[in-house]
Structure 1
Amino acid sequence: MHIPHIRRREALGLAAGATALACLPVHAQAWPSKPVRLVVPFAPGGSSEIVARATAAELTKSLGQSVYVDNKPGGSGNVAMSEVARAEDQHTLILGHIGTLAVNPFIYDKLPYDPAKDFRPISLLAKVPSLYLVHPDLPAKDLREFVALAKKSPGKLNYGSAGNGSAGHLAFEYLKMASNTFVVHVPYRGTGPQLTNLIAGRLDAASVGASAVLQFIRAGRLRCIATGTPQRIPQLPDVPTVAEQGFPGFEMTQWYGLLAPAGLPQAAADRLAAAAARAVKEPAALERFNADAALAVGSTPAEFGAFIGREQQRWKAVIARAKIKPD
């Protein structure tokens, strides 16, 4: 078949263009072009699992590719953060956390990743309320009474945590700094052993994420004397916040956000950020969050980046004052 000269050139040009497009690296084509791995730097279970899986399910619907959760615990989150920081496939993300982004940089002498340079903030997904708890036998019905008790006998009261540098450790040290009290820290290897001793009365107090303790509060086995949220939470409407009880501006919540390696192209990051901000507000995600007392946020990359910066400054001061070191 004879092809006119002009049409032959057009055909050759189209063929060359198609070949060039096929040879382009993955990140230059439409993103995502394959399943996306969302790494969670903690063991399965708990709030991180709820937030990650609820978000991944909604992202799968909006991005047109499967988004699956991959738990990779170890080293206070440092193992997973280091791996994802160096990922080059453009389809690996990570669930950022108060610990890996705002605490670890100030308690470890050397980190295997740089929170600012190695990652691109995508969206702040959710906050989980930190609750301040006491054993029911302790003569403190609310935070004011607890603070008065601690001031009356400095060092007599104790509190437990899931370990040095854990969210519960930070939460209580922050309260001690705000209230100018001295309460002895008793670190445990995880939330489970800590709660066992608090319920048994071998500890006086603790700060724990809401999802782990709501059942014990409702059963009367623990008393919640304050929430760390700016407003009261629906699950405990009669419990006032720390701020309401004499400490204006106080906020203590665990938080989770979506991060990508710094090399993710801008167009892909923009699409992902918009999808993530919508994902946490979808009815199915909200239902899962509410069951865990998690508060959906959804933010822009700029808002999340600024939030991380503020959190780093806040916890840097608390860590320095309490001289917190990793286990």
Structure 2
Amino acid sequence: MPLLARRRFLALPLASIVLPPLARDSAAQAWPERTVRLVVPFPSGAGALDIMARLLVHHLAPTLGQPIIIDNRPGGGGIKGAELVIRSPADGHTILMGNLSLVVNPYLLTGLPYDPVADFMPVTLINLAPLVVVAHPSLPVNSVAELIAFAKAWPGQLNYGSGGIGSTPFLATELFRSMAEIDVTHVPYRGGAPALADLVGGRLSFMIESVSATLAMVKAGRLKALGVTADHRLPLMPEIPTVSETGLPDYEVVGWNGLFVPRETPSSIVDRLFRDLAKILRSPDVRQEMAALGAEPGGNAPREFAAFVRAEAERWGSLIQEKGFRPD
């Protein structure tokens, strides 16, 4: 789904997408009864997912009237955290902050302890997050077109890092590599942060990573930004063109984060959580905070988010199957 279509989709009037009112349901009236646990299946401080989770908790806890703790459960490309959630009571007190890895893992691995469709109920999209192509300052390129030309002139000589096979940056870069028809080497890391550290240190040539993770390094001159992966320029870096403008027409990728609960969670609790989140995501404060991270707020209803997740799984699952990717 193109980013423009995503933005139109997210801009639907709330009245047109909400679920039937269930306010009288006793489960919704009682929930939450105690501390809510938000499971982030990646390390603390590691990447856009954790950053967005902390922003969300700051605004959601007062609305719910109960504390929310962030429970970082890294491991297995998000599998450990996802498994923890589906093995928890389906009562709305354990929630998963998920991203693309949740839905592409079935294409990468066999014997998963969960089925992302059968075991999880999508609640809402929290945000969309375009990525940015960044390079080490020593690399003699200043645009996406020059990066592609350099890679073609020196096949196999450039390398890039990512948080591992199946991560959004990995898939974004592999799509870039496929469309540009270039030969570059992937170096997997246990998270995006150590990969970025090696890029800054000159041990990698380039990366495609989140704006929130790279912006400070770009502003400090430690990395140079070549292009953004959205279909439009970003207010945070308006001087940086899109990838499609400067070397790879029709290329467009966005990261995303969303909330999921166990499939058997009462629909009234899902509806209450969605309504509270949608209100928060429309607030000027949250929109401003997300914009400062290069993100766009979500807030679509569960059924629309489920359709979005299916579309993402089909898009990236096709690429994974075509290329035969497997975890290292």
Quote the Cα distance in structure 1 between the aligned partners of 2:221 and 2:59.
Answer: 36
Residue 99 of structure 2 aligns with an amino acid whose one-letter code is H
Alignment-derived partner of residue 119 in structure 1:
120
Residue identity matched to 1:324: F
Question: Which residue number in structure 1 is paired with residue 32 of structure 2?
Answer: 32
Partner of 1:213: 214
The answer to which of 287-296 and 258-267 deviates more is 287-296
Contact 1:128 1:294 in 2 (8 A): yes
Shift in alpha-carbon separation, 1:155–1:280, aligned structure 2, 3 A: same
8 Å contact 2:28–2:269 — kept in the other structure?
Answer: no
Q: Which residue of 1 aligns with 2:244?
A: 243
Q: What SS is found at the alignment partner of 1:243?
A: coil
Shift of 1:245: 2.6
- Give, in whole Å, the separation in 1 of the partners of 2:236 and 2:116: 34
User: Whole-Å Cα distance in 1 between the matches of residues 59 and 90 of structure 2?
Assistant: 22
After superposition, where does 1:193-232 map in structure 2 within 5 Å?
A: 193-232=194-233
CA RMSD of aligned residues (A): 2.2
SS of the aligned residue for 2:242 comes to coil
Give the Cα–Cα distance (whole angstroms) in 2 for the partners of residues 187 and 42 of structure 1. 15
* 2:28–2:272 contact (8 Å) kept in structure 1: no
Q: Please give the alpha-carbon distance, in whole angstroms, between the structure 2 residues aligned to 1:63 and 1:299.
A: 19
CA distance in 1, matches of 2:271, 2:197: 45
What's the counterpart of residue 3 of structure 2?
none
Q: Which amino acid aligns with 1:125?
A: I
Aligned pair partner of 2:94 in 88, 92, 95: 92
Tell me which residue corresponds to 1:178: 179
In structure 1, how many angstroms separate the alpha carbons of the residues matched to 2:112 and 2:229? Answer: 29
Further displaced range: 158-167 or 108-117: 158-167
The residue that corresponds to 1:8 in the other structure is none
> Do the aligned residues in 2 keep the contact of 1:54 with 1:284 (CA within 8 Å)?
no
* Corresponding residue number in structure 1 for 2:41: 41
Instruction: Supply the distance in 1 between the matched residues of 2:252 and 2:214 (Cα, whole angstroms).
Output: 19
**Counterpart in the other structure of 1:297:** 298
Give CA-to-partner distance per residue, 1:53-95, whole Å, 9 cap, x none.
2222322233333333222222211111112112225021111
State whether residues 210 and 292 of structure 1, in contact with CA within 8 Å, keep that contact through their aligned partners in structure 2.
yes
Question: 2:170 is paired with a residue of what secondary structure?
Answer: helix
Alignment check: 8 A CA contact 2:27 2:268 kept: no
1-side partners of 2:64 and 2:194: how far apart? 41
Secondary structure of 2:198's match? helix
Which stretch shows the higher mean deviation, 179-188 or 305-314?
Answer: 179-188
Task: Report the Cα offset of residue 109 of structure 1.
Answer: 1.4
Which whole-Å CA distance do the structure 1 matches of 2:42 and 2:190 have between them?
14
**Cross-structure match for 1:51:** 52
Per the alignment, residue 280 of structure 2 pairs with 279
Is the deviation greater in 117-126 or in 49-58? 49-58
Q: What is the TM-score when the length of structure 1 is the normalising length?
A: 0.85
Aligned residue number for residue 15 of structure 1: none
In structure 2, the partner of 1:260 is 261
2:8 counterpart residue number:
none
Q: What fraction of aligned residue pairs are identical, expressed as a percent? A: 40
Structure 1: how far apart are the matches of 2:282 and 2:80?
30
Contact 1:120 1:262 in 2 (8 A): yes
* 2:20 corresponds to: none
> How many residues of Structure 1 are paired with residues of Structure 2 in the alignment?
302
1:1-33 Cα distance to aligned partner (Å, 9 max, x none): xxxxxxxxxxxxxxxxxxxxxxxx974753333
C-alpha displacement of 1:319: 1.7
Matched residues in 1 for 2:308 and 2:297: separation? Answer: 15
TM-score (ref. length: structure 2):
0.84
Q: Distance in 2 between matches of 1:200 and 1:256?
A: 29
Q: CA deviation at 1:165?
A: 2.8
- Once residues 84 and 190 of structure 1 are traced to their aligned partners in structure 2, the CA distance between those partners, rounded to angstroms, is 21
Contact 2:73 2:81 in 1 (8 A): yes
Aligned to 2:137: 136
Deviation above 6 Å: which 4+ runs of structure 1?
none
SS at match of 1:121: strand
CA distance in 2, matches of 1:267, 1:302: 14
Change (3 A) 1:190 1:311: same
How much does 1:240 deviate? 0.9
Between 1:65-74 and 1:270-279, the stretch displaced more is 65-74
Q: Which amino acid aligns with 2:132?
A: L
Measure how far apart 1:151 and its partner are: 2.5
SS at match of 1:65: coil
